Structure 1
Amino acid sequence: MAVGTFTVWPVRVERVDRAVAGRAMLWAPALGALLGAAIGSVAGFGTWLGWSAPLAALLAVGAGALFTRGLHLDGLADLADGLGSGRPAADALEVMRRSDIGPFGVLTLLVAVGAQALALAELAEVSFWAAVVGATTAGAAGRLAATLACLRRVPSARPDGLGAFVAGTVGVPAAVVVSAGVLALCALGLLHSPGFALACAAGTVLGVVVAAGTLRHAVRRLGGITGDVLGALVEIAVTATLLVAAARA
């Protein structure tokens, strides 16, 4: 279920219930790490082939969107439109449900994709391993933000949809273990330098904190989480983590 939800890879799910949903959300950071490693590798190999770092990084971010069907970027745009509308919760949720994209969504996507691409480009200019490790930790941090948004005290904004299915399915002990695993993953930064490993850890923490602030605002405005909220949290945490890693690389 985690693979089918967070990647474009087709899978056959034999059992679908809230218990399975909770375990799938716990697997999300591991899948995020694998996706991030693939994205960082595309950027690193692109610069090795002779492309400019910004071009290689932009293509890598585009590949990441392809690997995930653009699901998280779509959620980010929808949440920006919904919150930016300034409407009551029910109307804002209706705005988010629509298939079109408004000015808030367009602007948010431009900033997010641009920031991710330029930050990844800085990492790729430093070294291949800096790009791979930075993108790996960012991918894990982004999905960790979604995992933590499914803790049992966080409600769903709708009675149906992905948000309702996964809301409240993650227990605190399991979330702590997964969070510790993501922080431990930052030790891969030692392949570049000890300082870079610390930067990856700091970026992960900042990414989760920024996502938590967004989650709190979304719950207050919308009444809970939706699938779009989860996707937005992923992209927000990924962006923040990459920015910190790039600043210290």
Structure 2
Amino acid sequence: MIRRETRLFVCAVQFLTRIPTPQLAGFQPQWIQQSARYYPLVGQIVGGLAALVLYGAAQIWSPWIAALLGVAAGVVLTGGFHEDGLADTADGLGGGQTRARRLEIMKDSRLGSYGALALGLTLALRVAALVMVLQVSSMLAAITLVAAHGLGRAAAVGAMAVMPYGGDPGMAKEGRPDRTSFFSLTVAAVIAVWPLAFLPPAAGAAGVALGLVVGAAPAWLAWRLIGGRTGDVLGAVEQAFEIGFLLAVAGLVVG
């Protein structure tokens, strides 16, 4: 049991990040979906390392530089994995007129105008929100960043549990793209919530609420326009949740 769960955790790290890990012998594609329960923990590891960069930079430079470096650290650690999904989703849902064309655009590695705008605006919002929190407390900003990363991945797991697969099942990286189990979603949610204990209760609650609302937007659009989720859509959900969470926390903390 412990060996199996450890294997799934390592699989989650390999899938979501560029962090070096031991090689998994006998890898099976379905492990990717089974490892979803650990996505928030991987997010918290990425968020924790990014928070260390942010906190350290805040002791030396301005809040703007610290926020930029903190966000950049998260992007480097994941290889822009979720940002790429957001850009592809924006290009596909924004530029395609039919389901087939939208999916075709989302598979195209080239960056279009919708994707570029989505990336630029969302990165700017994340940095600006962190700057607001940094002006209150560097430690609070660091905790907020950890919470945002973990909860954003939990939102993606929620989309995996609720939404059907909208792409070509034969192209899914996780083998059979079934819905994630309720058990995995529960484990993911339990892992994701602990950083909220270190945030002001009102700010944490508002962050989760706005994060869910903003994160639901790309999920709803994808369900309506392509019939469900793809890996790119999950990346968009994760990024959207992070933005909503950060904006709400920043507004409550500063206000």
Q: Is TM (by shorter chain) over 0.5?
A: yes
| RMSD (CA atoms) | 2.0
Identity %: 32
In structure 1, the residue matched to 2:6 is none
Give secondary structure in 1 for the equivalent of 2:37.
helix
In structure 1, the residue matched to 2:7 is none
Out of 227, 230, 237, the position equivalent to 1:226 is 230
In structure 2, list runs of 5 or more residues that go unmatched. Answer: 1-10
* Correspondence list, 1:84-163, <5 A: 84-151=94-161, 154-162=164-172
Give secondary structure in 2 for the equivalent of 1:126.
coil
Give secondary structure in 2 for the equivalent of 1:165.
coil
In structure 2, the residue matched to 1:71 is 81
Per-residue deviation, 1:183 = 2.8
Indicate yes or no: 2:189 matched with 1:179.
yes
In structure 2, the residue matched to 1:198 is 202
In structure 2, the residue matched to 1:28 is 39
Higher mean alpha-carbon deviation, 177-186 vs 82-91, is at 177-186
In structure 1, the residue matched to 2:24 is 13
Measured at CA, do residues 94 and 242 of structure 1 come closer, stay the same or move farther in structure 2, by a change above 3 Å? same
Measured at CA, do residues 161 and 199 of structure 1 come closer, stay the same or move farther in structure 2, by a change above 3 Å? farther
Measured at CA, do residues 219 and 18 of structure 1 come closer, stay the same or move farther in structure 2, by a change above 3 Å? farther
Cα distance in structure 2, aligned partners of 1:161 and 1:238: 27
Per-residue deviation, 1:162 = 4.1
Measured at CA, do residues 104 and 153 of structure 1 come closer, stay the same or move farther in structure 2, by a change above 3 Å? closer
Cα distance in structure 2, aligned partners of 1:72 and 1:169: 20
Measured at CA, do residues 155 and 80 of structure 1 come closer, stay the same or move farther in structure 2, by a change above 3 Å? same
Report the AA paired with residue 207 of structure 1.
G
Note if contact 1:161-1:226 (Cα within 8 Å) is conserved in structure 2.
Answer: no
Note if contact 2:129-2:250 (Cα within 8 Å) is conserved in structure 1.
Answer: yes
In structure 1, the residue matched to 2:175 is 165
In structure 2, the residue matched to 1:46 is 57
Indicate yes or no: 2:243 matched with 1:239.
yes
Q: Structure 1-normalised TM-score?
A: 0.89
Cα distance in structure 2, aligned partners of 1:67 and 1:74: 13
Indicate yes or no: 2:65 matched with 1:55.
yes
Per-residue deviation, 1:164 = 5.7
Indicate yes or no: 2:2 matched with 1:2.
no
Cα distance in structure 2, aligned partners of 1:23 and 1:198: 33
Count matched residues.
242
Note if contact 1:43-1:120 (Cα within 8 Å) is conserved in structure 2.
Answer: no
Give secondary structure in 1 for the equivalent of 2:185.
helix
Per-residue deviation, 1:213 = 3.3
In structure 1, list runs of 5 or more residues that go unmatched. Answer: 190-195
Per-residue deviation, 1:173 = 3.5
In structure 2, the residue matched to 1:192 is none
Cα distance in structure 2, aligned partners of 1:166 and 1:239: 30
Cα distance in structure 2, aligned partners of 1:177 and 1:10: 24
* CA offsets 1:86-142 (integer angstroms, 9 cap, x no match): 410111111111121111111111110000011111122211211111001100111
